[in-house]
Structure 1
Amino acid sequence: MNTATALAAEPQDFDVKELPAPRHSRRLAVVTETYPPEVNGVAMSMARVVDELHRRNHDVQLIRPRQPTHASGANAHVDEVLTRGLPVPLYPNLRMGVPSKRALVQLWAKHRPDVVHIATEGPLGWSALQAAQHLELPVTSDYRTNFHAYGRHYKVGLFSKAILGYLRKFHNRCDATMAPTEHIRRLLADQGFERLHTVGRGVDTQRYDPARRSDLLRGEWGAGPDDLVCGYVGRLAPEKNLLAVVAAFRALLRQQPRARLVWVGDGPMRAELLARVPEAHFVGQRSGDDLATHYASLDVFLFPSLTETFGNVTTEALASGCAVAAFRSAAAGELIDSGLNGVLAQDESEAAFVAAALQTGHDLATRRRLGAGARRTALRLSWAEIVSQFETVLEDAITRREIRSALGQLRLSQS
């Protein structure tokens, strides 16, 4: 119904009690150095948060680097401000913003947001933090990536302490920092990070659904309906601890000779992994419904990473009805209940991960029971609930800044 039709329509009787509670609309500036069409956990989850904020009637200004594949109007429901971007070292398909403090000060001085939320701690994120502080705007941030942990895998381990120091300095200048799990929040608190809140991640249970399971796709992998298919989804890179997947598959293969291994994703370790398990299926990077079909066609999801702050692939696998074998860290550590929806390794050794994989994929009945439990877990992880928590942190930061400003004005008037 268009506006004119709506105005001309006959008034309808309604009960005020049935109307939704009024929502306080805010002007939000969201700063991120990665966003779709880039494919990674930060990009995809930030897109869901932005969409949900818009649905809740907030005015969202999205500030991010311009991407070579950017299409005009891709985010028509938000005010996009595109900055210059450069390739990220070691991740050439990703972009990082360049220092932009002056431009952001000018932008926000003319159109002042109620709060600035910074999703990434790169050059653009640092510029946004400085600009917001210059204008005395409340700032919230996400802690999303264990850069200091990744350093061990990219020959910059000597700089891990300096990187951690930078991250602590960055987040402690914010009014609030959101950690994706309670475990990460506690670790950050022990490292001197302040004003921490736990805000998890949701999952799209309509897209990631066991109903998408495809016997045709499984047949392309050489697997029958009841054969074991285990797989990994994500970047094929050293920090993901992928040799543990190779070891787990070899152990499963000895137990179940018809087992299959599927790698979904790409990265610098592809050639090495192909040499180690030439019989595995490397299907490359997938997205959208195609990715969801690949998840749902797996039986066991092998996730050996110890460097995640969350790991969106864990929730996507759970929603797809995959039994999950993982370490007790990040999302898996909080969402996997061994014996109910997957199995957690007893310690951080490769042997423990292999043992967890053997338990998870033991037989058809076990896989089906754990997969059903995985789906039940995912159905509790709605994005609406996550963004409600996100809103609460933003409102708290705005209120605290308003109180500090009022107290400052009071002191000035009394001096």
Structure 2
Amino acid sequence: MQPPDPDPSQLRVALFSGNYNYVRDGANQALNLLVGHLLAQGVTVRVYSPTTCTPAFPPTGDLVDVPALPMPFGRGEYRVARGLPARVRRDLAAFAPNIVHVSTPDLLGHRALGWAEANGVRAVASFHTRFETYFRYYKLGFVTPFIERLMKRFYDRVDRVLVPGPSMERLLRDWGVTAPISVWSRGIDHARFDPGRRDMAWRRALGIADADPVIGFLGRLVKEKGLSIFAHVVRELEARGVPHKVLVIGDGPARDWFACRVPDAVFTGFLSGDDLGRAVASTDMFFNPSVTETFGNVTTEAMCAGVPVVAARATGAVDLIEHGVTGFLVPPRDVGAYADAIARIVADPALRRTMGEAGHARALAYRWDTANQAALDAYLEVMAAPA
């Protein structure tokens, strides 16, 4: 017999995250917004994640600490959970979830899936980060095929995989993942990211002349965001005599490394709220050479602010950018092609304006309430499916 369709108030979701709020990033911003939406719809949620004494922001919902150790390879700002110790298992059993949601294919995620399988609980996984691409930035590229196989096995253990866009679904299918897949897209704060927040006086205060075409970078300053390619492209623009100014919005462990390679750039440090919206709108183009994105929140934020985007032709960006209309998609490591695209936007203010307007119009479709409702609908579909 087909089980009755559940309603949101029947859902008890145990969400597992490797980083729910101790370091701010796009993945945990999306997870916190999802939890807020779930709670508003009557869902009961409990979050399990490593924590620190100095979190980047307050968590949304109930958060249970999972013991963890600092991540190796010079990335000690992140924590690696040590699995599911007895204290956490007791808390999980008392909470009695009917859906387990894992957001990271780490040891914690594997143990959470094992618990779900052992207890007959439905499981959902969301794909946020292309970890398999990270290793080459730390001279460990030889392990990439092994990591891809591990991730394929991980995602095939769940009842549903949530991906942020069609390009990620294609990637998982190319890996051989056979589990059902749904799209859980992302939204934008449309009041914060708006062309009207452009502020020439703020630019002047940073030493940027009104006539300077500003190339923006937005995000955590870590090597896997394509910082090396970014720096090579800046040097190519300098060699060609293309006028520009680089504005770097963000901070991270690779800041000093990056600053040595783009010595004439202006670094704002970490910005949030309306300050961030003003900074993004005050650029003239956004350059994102990262190939590690699953979606690219920063890309949609730039588009929403009316800024054309030059990005790697890779997952995430190919779902967001219409080549030649809202920006340019470039072969990922082609320094000359990146420089060509940026130079074209610099040389043609009318193109810059029309691309910005087209990007803003396209970005209006990305809304958090719609995106998060799609995730909730996927939960309900999983619960309604025959066991």
TM more than 0.5: yes
Q: 1:83 to 1:184 in 2, by over 3 A?
A: same
Q: Distance in 2 between matches of 1:226 and 1:377?
A: 27
Name the SS for the 2:207 alignment partner: coil
Q: Do structure 1's residue 111 and structure 2's residue 95 form an aligned pair?
A: yes
CA deviation vs aligned residue, 1:242-298 (integer Å, no higher than 9, x gap) = 2332344345555553x2111122345433433333211122222233222221111
Q: 1:206-225 residue pairs with structure 2 within 5 A?
A: 206-225=191-210
Question: Which residue of 150, 153, 163 maps to 2:137?
Answer: 153
Name the SS for the 2:162 alignment partner: strand
CA deviation vs aligned residue, 1:93-120 (integer Å, no higher than 9, x gap) = 2223221154444333323222111111
Q: Which residue number in structure 2 is paired with residue 171 of structure 1?
A: 155
Is 1:53–1:60's contact at 8 Å kept on the other side of the alignment? yes
Deviation of residue 203 (structure 1)?
1.8
Q: Which residue number in structure 2 is paired with residue 410 of structure 1?
A: none
Q: Which residue number in structure 1 is paired with residue 270 of structure 2?
A: 285
Is 1:345–1:355's contact at 8 Å kept on the other side of the alignment? no
Q: 1:15-164 residue pairs with structure 2 within 5 A?
A: 24-25=8-9, 26-70=11-55, 74-75=58-59, 78-89=61-72, 90-100=74-84, 102-164=86-148
Q: Which residue number in structure 1 is paired with residue 3 of structure 2?
A: none
Deviation of residue 46 (structure 1)?
1.1
Q: Distance in 2 between matches of 1:215 and 1:54?
A: 41
Name the SS for the 2:354 alignment partner: helix
Q: Distance in 2 between matches of 1:125 and 1:358?
A: 44
Q: Do structure 1's residue 261 and structure 2's residue 264 form an aligned pair?
A: no
Q: Distance in 2 between matches of 1:312 and 1:88?
A: 24
Is 1:247–1:354's contact at 8 Å kept on the other side of the alignment? no
CA deviation vs aligned residue, 1:317-376 (integer Å, no higher than 9, x gap) = 112221100122222211111232111125652222222222333332222221121211
Question: Which residue of 178, 202, 205 maps to 1:194?
Answer: 178
Question: Which residue of 349, 358, 362 maps to 1:373?
Answer: 358
Q: Distance in 2 between matches of 1:347 and 1:238?
A: 15
Q: Distance in 2 between matches of 1:71 and 1:280?
A: 26
Q: Distance in 1 between matches of 2:93 and 2:261?
A: 56
Deviation of residue 379 (structure 1)?
0.9
Is 2:311–2:317's contact at 8 Å kept on the other side of the alignment? yes
Equivalent pairs, count: 378
Name the SS for the 1:227 alignment partner: coil
Is 1:218–1:297's contact at 8 Å kept on the other side of the alignment? yes
Q: Which moved further from structure 2: 145-154 or 355-364?
A: 355-364
Q: Which runs of 5+ in 1 are unaligned?
A: 1-21, 405-415
Amino acid at match of 1:306: V
Is 1:218–1:224's contact at 8 Å kept on the other side of the alignment? yes
Name the SS for the 1:344 alignment partner: strand
Q: Which moved further from structure 2: 338-347 or 166-175?
A: 338-347
Q: Which moved further from structure 2: 346-355 or 31-40?
A: 346-355
Is 1:146–1:309's contact at 8 Å kept on the other side of the alignment? yes
Q: Distance in 2 between matches of 1:217 and 1:91?
A: 33
Q: Which residue number in structure 1 is paired with residue 293 of structure 2?
A: 308
Deviation of residue 23 (structure 1)?
5.8
The root-mean-square deviation of aligned C-alpha atoms, in Å, is 2.3
Q: Distance in 1 between matches of 2:21 and 2:51?
A: 11
Q: 1:224 to 1:149 in 2, by over 3 A?
A: same
Is 1:105–1:135's contact at 8 Å kept on the other side of the alignment? no
Q: Which residue number in structure 2 is paired with residue 298 of structure 1?
A: 283
Q: Which runs of 5+ in 2 are unaligned?
A: 1-5
Question: Which residue of 239, 248, 262 maps to 2:224?
Answer: 239
Moved >6 Å (runs of 4+): none
Amino acid at match of 1:197: S
Is 2:234–2:262's contact at 8 Å kept on the other side of the alignment? no
Q: Distance in 1 between matches of 2:236 and 2:67?
A: 48
Q: 1:201 to 1:115 in 2, by over 3 A?
A: same
Q: 1:226 to 1:375 in 2, by over 3 A?
A: farther
Q: Distance in 2 between matches of 1:68 and 1:99?
A: 20
Amino acid at match of 1:113: P
Name the TM-score, length of structure 2 as normaliser: 0.90
Is 2:129–2:293's contact at 8 Å kept on the other side of the alignment? yes
Q: Distance in 2 between matches of 1:171 and 1:395?
A: 19
